[in-house]
């Protein structure tokens, strides 16, 4: 099994997961998927990691998954796949995840990007849900996450037509938060991650949790969750540090406690 299908590094409070199969369009295979899963577990186990950046080497972000790596318990019953393993691992992260998307973001690659919290796109990026052309549908949560992000009409257009969406159109429909020149994508992702990593760690995680979970419940339930997490934050040392720093007109020094 290859040992370098991803590059996993840590820099202060930021973890970087870099897809590293450029000759294969960074398609997800089982080796890469298990390495992503392992990296995500290492991030979860490290309390100092506050932000994650997911990016890729080469001219493509991720062009899908290797079909020969799909494993079936019986005909027609999918047991596991590289896409499912990698996407589930990223989705379980409590830290905010920034996707820096260069080139093709297609199929399972699109679904991988959808589980990230902020998507930055290079001007050369394209987004594609091609599954219907092959006789099936996005099956790693793609139909559900896409519609929640861009709305029903735009999601149906993408999935039913199966045609590439440009970076500019991705920004227009809310799929990409920013569109950047290719030579600025990496630096902008790093700068954004640095800004987020300066926030209070517990509040950062709670904010992701309440916004994400709030999309799947009623407004009343979401408000209740928001209130509960707000109350819990009042008991943290970071909250007191934030108040003290504001009154003393200095930069807060958060410790995640």
Residues classed as catalytic: 111, 131
Q: How many CB atoms lie under 10 A from the CB of residue 162?
A: 14
- Distance in angstroms (rounded) separating the CA atoms of residues 106 and 45: 30
219, 225, 226, 228 alpha-carbon torsion, rounded to 10°? 150
97-101, strands of its sheet edge to edge: 6-11, 14-19, 51-56, 97-101, 118-122, 178-180
Tokens read off for 173: 């429909």
Helix 219-233 to helix 201-214 angle, to the nearest 10 degrees? 170
- Distance in angstroms (rounded) separating the CA atoms of residues 104 and 124: 8
Q: Which of 142, 147, 141, 144 is nearest to 173 (CA)?
A: 147
């Amino acid at each position: 099994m290859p040992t370098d299908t991803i590059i996993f590094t840590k820099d202060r409070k930021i973890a970087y997961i870099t897809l590293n199969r450029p000759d294969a369009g960074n398609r997800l295979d089982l080796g890469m998927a298990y390495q992503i899963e392992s990296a995500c577990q290492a991030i979860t186990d490290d309390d100092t990691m506050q932000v994650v950046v997911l990016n890729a080497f080469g001219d493509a972000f991720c062009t899908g998954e290797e079909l020969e790596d799909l494993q079936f318990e019986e005909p027609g019953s999918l047991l596991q796949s590289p896409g499912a393993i990698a996407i589930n691992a990223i989705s379980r992260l409590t830290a905010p995840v920034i996707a820096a998307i260069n080139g093709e973001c297609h199929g399972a690659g699109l679904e991988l990007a959808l589980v990230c919290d902020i998507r930055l796109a290079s001007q050369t990026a394209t987004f594609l849900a091609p599954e219907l052309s092959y006789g099936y549908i996005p099956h790693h949560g793609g139909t559900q996450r896409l519609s929640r992000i861009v709305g029903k009409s735009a999601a149906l257009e993408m999935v039913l037509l199966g045609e590439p969406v440009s970076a500019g159109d991705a920004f227009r429909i809310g799929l990409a938060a920013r569109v950047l020149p290719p030579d600025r994508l990496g630096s902008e992702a790093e700068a954004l991650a640095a800004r987020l990593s300066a926030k209070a760690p517990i509040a950062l995680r709670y904010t992701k949790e309440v916004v994400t979970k709030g999309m799947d419940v009623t407004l009343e339930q979401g408000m209740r969750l928001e209130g509960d997490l707000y109350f819990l934050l009042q008991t943290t040392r970071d909250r007191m540090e934030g108040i003290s720093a504001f009154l003393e007109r200095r930069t807060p020094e958060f410790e995640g406690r």
